Chains A and B, each alone.
Chain A
Amino acid sequence: MSRAALLVLADGRFPAGGHAHSGGAEAAVKAGRISGAASLADFCRGRLHTAGLVAAALSAAAALGIDPVALDRAADARTPSPALRVAGRKLGRQLMRAARAAWPSAELDALGREFPKGAHQPVVLGLAARAAGLGPVDAAYCAAYESVSGPATATVRLLSLDPFDATGVLARLAPEVDRVVDRGVEAARRVVDEGVDALPAASAPLLEIGAEAHARWGVRLFAS
């Protein structure tokens, strides 16, 4: 296993479409729920322990070799908002393209054939990690970190927030990211024996509702 491969996959500049998505931050900024560094930290903490935890567990399970089709269905069931399901599959498709170019793999090819319009992003992320020779812990770290780094970067653009403050938010969340990864990987290991129902189903209703409203805006900076 190459430790550097993890850096390639986790790099915010990995060309997989994330730059056009705010992870719900744009809707939260407009609603006044994010107005500065402190409320960004609250938002990220909420997203980490809900959508982030689910994504981390899905990615870890995919990296362990659990059937990605079953995981994709599990992701659907854990994403009530149709707009977020569309966004998740779009990002999955974009990640698939980048991952296949970076780490060609028969498993990625098979998933691409199964879901030509995209599987859920965390599932593709887990398989990409597997193709890169990484393990479930690495996959979960990518997913959990992404769940907070996306909104933090987007908020810098949306609020002209001081980028040092936004990075400080991410740094202070690091110990919580560690714990979410532990929980996600533990759940993923249970899936091996118990099936996908062992995956967490933590949900953030405001993220789901905000995403539905956001998808109907006529003017917006981010796709989700």
Chain B
Amino acid sequence: MHLDHNHDGRAAVSADARRPDGSRRALRIGLGGPVGSGKTATVAALCRALRDELSLAVVTNDIYTREDAEFLLREAVLPPERITAVETGACPHTAIRDDISANLEAVEDLEDAVGPLDLVLVESGGDNLTATFSKGLVDAQIFVIDVAGGDDIPRKGGPGVTTADLLVVNKTDLAPYVGSDLARMAADAKAQRAELPVVFQSLRSETGVADVAAWVRARLAAWAA
């Protein structure tokens, strides 16, 4: 047996940058974070912001329904054939980290069906602060928290807050109503993340998802280079 055999052609397993036909695969970005922090709303806003300039698709990982996929379909942010839901057996973090096979198949099926794609957004089901994506599944990950979930979350850290390539603090418009201190959240995030970027966003503001979209464009430029 050749356990050190290089993966080539159809034996490509996960993170390989080339598809079996030799073409370059889409950039995959994961979005994770606690329940209700605004992951699906951010995905929807990103689709609206990027769909005219990029070929993109979305994989959702709902915990026990197809709600997130159906929200995106209802909002018509993308044609239905560009949205796929993966079922996760009550453990969303398992499907994005420990056993990524169903998500990889969803991504590859989307590329086969509607490709070539520039970007696939993989949205995790709402989970806890330790949920992170496997490097075998995504090239970069965004962790979405919100000001109403408690302004001590950046201070508490955890793998999502500390290591995500981009931390999004969502619903900043609610800060005055829930008594969250945005300056303190920014300082705590800086302390946890050093140079890694943080975006404070309100999808209800005029800027909306623009900062996150700009970050995604920069990742895409680096991926295509």
Partner-B contacts on A (CB < 8 A): 13, 15-22, 90, 93-94, 97-98, 100-101, 103-105, 109, 112-113, 131-133, 154, 157-158, 218-223
Judge if B101 is at the interface, Cβ distance under 8 Å.
yes
Measured between beta carbons, the chain B residues less than 8 angstroms from A98 are 101
Write out, one digit per residue, whether chain B residues 36-66 have a CB within 8 A of any chain A CB (1) or not (0): 0000000000000000000000000001111
Min CB distance B135 to A, Å, is 14
Is the beta-carbon distance between A223 and B10 smaller than 8 angstroms?
no
Take A19-B91, A223-B87, A223-B89 as given contacts and tell me if A94 and B2 are in contact as well, using a CB distance cutoff of 8 Å.
no
Write out, one digit per residue, whether chain B residues 69-106 have a CB within 8 A of any chain A CB (1) or not (0): 00000000000000000011111001100111110110
Take A104-B11, A109-B10 as given contacts and tell me if A221 and B104 are in contact as well, using a CB distance cutoff of 8 Å.
no
Min CB distance A103 to B, Å, is 6
Contact with B102, one of A94, A218, A219 (Cβ below 8 angstroms):
A94
Measured between beta carbons, the chain A residues less than 8 angstroms from B88 are 20
* A13, A15, A112, A220: residue with the most chain B Cβ atoms closer than 10 Å: A15
* A98, A101, A105, A112: residue with the most chain B Cβ atoms closer than 10 Å: A101
Take A219-B64, A221-B64, A223-B87 as given contacts and tell me if A19 and B99 are in contact as well, using a CB distance cutoff of 8 Å.
yes
Is the beta-carbon distance between B3 and A97 smaller than 8 angstroms?
no
Take A20-B95, A113-B10, A133-B1 as given contacts and tell me if A222 and B90 are in contact as well, using a CB distance cutoff of 8 Å.
yes
Measured between beta carbons, the chain A residues less than 8 angstroms from B91 are 19-20, 157
Nearest first, the 3 A-B pairs at minimum CB distance are A20-B89, A94-B101, A223-B87
Measured between beta carbons, the chain A residues less than 8 angstroms from B1 are 103-105, 131-133
Is the beta-carbon distance between A100 and B13 smaller than 8 angstroms?
yes
Judge if B204 is at the interface, Cβ distance under 8 Å.
no
Closest to B70 in A: A218
Is the beta-carbon distance between B98 and A17 smaller than 8 angstroms?
no
Contact with A17, one of B5, B65, B101 (Cβ below 8 angstroms):
B101
Is the beta-carbon distance between B87 and A20 smaller than 8 angstroms?
yes
Measured between beta carbons, the chain A residues less than 8 angstroms from B89 are 19-22, 154, 157, 221-223
Measured between beta carbons, the chain B residues less than 8 angstroms from A18 are 99
Partner-A contacts on B (CB < 8 A): 1-3, 5, 7, 10-11, 13-14, 63-66, 87-91, 94-95, 98-102, 104-105
Measured between beta carbons, the chain A residues less than 8 angstroms from B10 are 109, 112-113
How many A-B pairs have beta carbons closer than 8 Å: the answer is: 83
Take A101-B7, A104-B1, A104-B5 as given contacts and tell me if A221 and B90 are in contact as well, using a CB distance cutoff of 8 Å.
yes
Contact with A93, one of B63, B95, B98, B105 (Cβ below 8 angstroms):
B105
Min CB distance B97 to A, Å, is 10
Contact with B11, one of A16, A90, A100, A133 (Cβ below 8 angstroms):
A100
In Å, the complex CA distance between A17 and B11 comes to: 18
Measured between beta carbons, the chain A residues less than 8 angstroms from B95 are 19-20
Q: A19-B94, A22-B89 are in contact. List 19 more A-B contacts (CB 8 A).
A: A19-B89, A19-B99, A20-B89, A20-B91, A20-B94, A20-B95, A94-B101, A97-B13, A97-B104, A98-B101, A109-B11, A113-B10, A157-B90, A157-B91, A158-B90, A219-B64, A221-B64, A222-B89, A223-B87
In Å, the complex CA distance between A93 and B13 comes to: 12
Is the beta-carbon distance between A219 and B65 smaller than 8 angstroms?
yes
Min CB distance A34 to B, Å, is 16
* A20, A21, A112, A221: residue with the most chain B Cβ atoms closer than 10 Å: A20
Take A98-B101, A220-B64 as given contacts and tell me if A104 and B90 are in contact as well, using a CB distance cutoff of 8 Å.
no
In Å, the complex CA distance between A23 and B10 comes to: 29
Is the beta-carbon distance between A104 and B2 smaller than 8 angstroms?
yes
Is the beta-carbon distance between A104 and B64 smaller than 8 angstroms?
no
Is the beta-carbon distance between B3 and A104 smaller than 8 angstroms?
yes
Min CB distance A20 to B, Å, is 3
Contact with A218, one of B13, B63, B65, B98 (Cβ below 8 angstroms):
B65
Min CB distance B35 to A, Å, is 15
Is the beta-carbon distance between A17 and B102 smaller than 8 angstroms?
yes
In Å, the complex CA distance between A157 and B102 comes to: 20
Measured between beta carbons, the chain B residues less than 8 angstroms from A222 are 87, 89-90
